[in-house]
Amino acid sequence: MNILITGCNGQLGNEMQVLEKSHPQHTYYNTDVAELDITDKEAVEAFVEENRIDGIVNCAAYTAVDKAEENQELCDLLNNVAPGYLAAAIGRRGGWMIQVSTDYVFNGTNHRPYVETDPVCPNSVYGSTKLAGEQSVQAACSKSMIIRTAWLYSTYGNNFVKTMIRLGKEKTELGVIFDQIGTPTYARDLAVAIFAAIEQGVKPGIYHFSNEGVISWYDFTKAIHRIAGITDCKVRPLHTSEYPTPANRPHFSVLDKTKIKQTYGIEVPYWEESLKECIERLIIEA
């Protein structure tokens, strides 16, 4: 197959490129804005046709959650309009598309893990635009797969894990929110799940994916420091109210992964095992 990967310079896009080497039977077109502006409808249509693209994995997104509150138009363009262009272009070719979405489509008031059929209710611009993107993709491409994920981190790009390691080395004390609960997602594990879908055939619908387990940002930070060998930084628990942000964060972001596990027969690693793997890679690369 000829597969288009958008947002190739991001966390997930980079992990996809690593795993491509294990799937050499396909031809990959790894693009970011320099190679393909996905907000340009004509450019998207031309690229998909000229390169005879069979499937698209859209890893591109506007992910600056707080900045999105004042950049609603740009956020909607990248998270909703552009995915719609990609879906329409590949839909005309009878191809498939995997759209990466987010736990922010929910308002975070659940007390049990979210399943794919739970009512959506975003309470931020970021969440609203990502939900609109899901709907645009599904409307334009009958062979579309939506994968909602949460708390994404990687050895690539800027993310919570790398930030906490840096701050842990720079500061003697750190305050981290303890009343927001979720599950981290190692981007490489998500990339493995995406390749499972590609190899077995994309089965349309909405799916949830994160690592296994449940944790708070505070406990996650404690684990990051313990695994990274940081001992001189005291981590204090904070209430969300003590750390106000422009965008609302879901207080509960745990996703139920049963559907994707059963559909593709994949095993999902426990969050701490994946965190150790990521930090080991960061130490080696440093």
Q: Which residues are catalytic?
A: 126
Is-contact 159 221, C-beta < 8 A?
A: no
Q: How far is CA 94 from CA 52, 58, 184, 202, in A?
A: 11, 17, 34, 12
The answer to whether 5 and 28 are in contact (CB under 8 A) is yes
Strands (E), 20-143: 27-31, 55-58, 96-102
Q: Which two tokens stand for residue 261?
A: 């596990």
Residue identified by tokens 């309470």 is: 123
User: Helix or strand or coil: residue 50?
Assistant: helix
Q: What angle do CA 70, 76, 78 make, to 5 degrees?
A: 110
Neighbouring C-beta atoms of residue 198, cutoff 10 Å: 19
**Residue 261 CA to chain centroid, in angstroms?**
17
Q: Please tell me the distance from the alpha carbon of residue 6 to that of residue 100, in angstroms, as a whole number.
A: 11
Q: CB–CB of 147/119 below 8 Å?
A: no
Tell me if residue 98 falls in helix, strand or coil. Answer: strand
